[in-house]
Amino acid sequence: MNRFRTLDDLTDVKGKVALVRVDLNLPMQDGEVTDLTRVEAVAPTILELSDAGAKVLLLAHFGRPKGERRSTMSTSLVQGAVSQVLGREVMYISEVSGPIVEQALGIMRPGDIGVLENTRFWPGEEKNDAEFARTIAENGDFYVNDAFSASHRAHASTEALARQLPAYAGRAMQKELQALEQALGNPEQPVAAVVGGAKVSTKLAVLEHLVTRVQHLIIGGGMANTFLAARGVDVGKSLCEHELTGTVSSILEAADKAECTVHLPYDVVVAKEFAPNPASLRTCNVREVAPDEMILDVGPQATEALADVLKTCRTLVWNGPLGAFETPPFDTATVALARTAAALSKEGLLTAVAGGGDTVAALNHASAAQDFTYVSTAGGAFLEWMEGKELPGVAVLAK
Ligand code: ADP
Ligand code: MG
């Protein structure tokens, strides 16, 4: 963590203006915010700065307004939610720069909090425009990024702005970077990765990177079918990207060279129709899948063997469910392996880090998330980290 500047490196905050990039891209339904998780994540940073006497200006994007003002995507719609979570008054400011912001700062007392308008109302945001960033920076004394989930994009509020002011990682960003560093940067060996989910095509770069980083690569979900097909298994009607079997074969070769063991299911749960508890449900060896059957989950024997693999490891990084977990009983393998990982993590035997939209849902469904060392809610940014990429919004926070 000493690679990045954090709030611990800040001194003399009282009366200063903090420009804080947060993730306020909150889910809404009928004009109401339906989930406060993202606000809860950044609350510690905001409160810490406010308590230290800074004037805190929040910067965020909200939806995809494509460079123009759209009333349905104004941050005024999330102002109430932020105020509710913080338990403090939050002022809405209808600009991100210029005299309106200056006037607001004139009224604000040390410790006060304001939310600036949606950064994406200005075309300079997504263009990472230095001049646009400069106009924002004019009203601030320092910059804090607490939005890891937005930091894979080089936008003005995540990248250019960090070059204009002293820049620091907020507490949520710091936690996320620490967890990811522990999982993939400098992990305790041996390391296992679980990669599942629907398709190989969305995770090729992840797989190519992981084979060079981990000792055990566990493949599940729909993408396991493409791996099985590459090994000559007839996967019947299963979701399978047949055009990628060549690519998958090279990944398997690279794994071999790097001495990474790739674990594919050898028994599977199949059905003729994709529905809850279908009549055609059965478990079989991967070599026995009928032409009219689909593989929808990893089988019980393979799941047990995978649990044994985890027991020999010190670190686990997980992205993607092992089966079609939204439809029972195809959640069985995911739930079982998630609970094994959670138990090992709780006992202090395994550092377990997970991320991905559906992965978070699956771990919550298994009641396993709270015992993982860290669960990232960042979708795209988490995957890019797993690809070994340097995130532009993170790189600018380096010492
Ligand atoms: P994440 O969002 O965590 O990165 P993905 O979006 O890659 O995960 O994949 C999640 C989806 O993969 C889930 O909707 C799940 O139903 C689907 N899936 C998993 N296994 C299978 C399978 N064997 N056949 C079809 N779909 C599957
Ligand atoms: Mg997904």
Looking at the chain, the whole-number percentage of residues with pLDDT higher than 90 is 96
Q: What pLDDT does residue 31 have?
A: 85
Q: What is the pLDDT of residues 277-299, one digit of tens each?
A: 999 999 999 999 999 999 999 99
Q: Is the pLDDT of residue 261 over 80?
A: yes
Q: How far apart are CA 383 and CA 330, in angstroms?
A: 24
SS3 breakdown of the chain: % helix, strand, coil, rounded to 5?
40, 20, 40
10 in helix, strand or coil? Answer: coil
Inform me whether the pLDDT recorded for 1 exceeds 90: no
Which ligand 1 atom sits nearest the alpha carbon of residue 356? 3
Query: Which residues are paired to 9 by β-bridges?
Result: none
Q: Is 111 a catalytic residue?
A: no
Q: Report the mean per-residue pLDDT for the chain.
A: 97
The pLDDT value given to residue 379: 86
Helices (H), the chain: 37-51, 79-86, 99-107, 123-126, 130-137, 171-180, 204-210, 221-230, 245-257, 300-311, 332-346, 357-365, 380-386, 392-395
198 lines ligand 1 (CB under 6 A): yes
Amino acid sitting at position 285: N
Catalytic residue among 111, 185, 357, 379: 357
202 CA: nearest ligand 1 atom: 7
pLDDT at residue 348, as a whole number: 97
Q: What is the pLDDT of residue 363?
A: 97
Which residue's entry shows tokens 């700062």? 105
Instruction: Render pLDDT for 165-194 as a digit per residue (tens, 0 to 9).
Output: 999 999 999 999 999 999 999 999 999 999
Is 187-386 CATH 3.40.50.1220?
no
What digits encode the pLDDT tens for the residues 51-104?
A: 999 999 999 999 999 999 999 999 999 999 999 999 999 999 999 999 999 999
Provide the pLDDT for residue 181.
Answer: 92
**Count, residues in the chain:** 399
What would the pLDDT profile of 27-53 be if each residue is shown by its tens digit? Answer: 999 889 999 999 999 999 999 999 999
pLDDT of 2 higher than 90: no
Share of the chain above pLDDT 70, in %: 100
The most distant pair of C-alpha atoms in the chain lies apart, rounded to whole Å, by 73
Q: pTM here?
A: 0.92
Which residues neighbour 4 within 8 Å (Cβ) at sequence distance 6 or greater?
Answer: 169, 174, 177, 394, 397, 398, 399
How much is the average pLDDT of 8-20?
A: 96
Pocket test for ligand 1, best of 223, 274, 298, 358 (most atoms within 8 A of CB): 358
Average pLDDT on 241-266 reads: 97
Sign (positive or negative) of CA dihedral 263, 251, 321, 43: positive
What are the residue ranges of CATH 3.40.50.1260 in the chain? 7-173, 187-386
Dig out the tokens for 94 from the structure. Answer: 């209808």
| Model pLDDT, residue 283 | 98
Does position 321 have pLDDT exceeding 60, yes or no? yes
Sheet of 261-263: strand order equals: 261-263, 216-219, 191-195, 315-319, 351-355, 374-376
Residue in the block written with tokens 């420009």: 19
Assess if CATH 3.40.50.1260 describes domain 7-173: yes
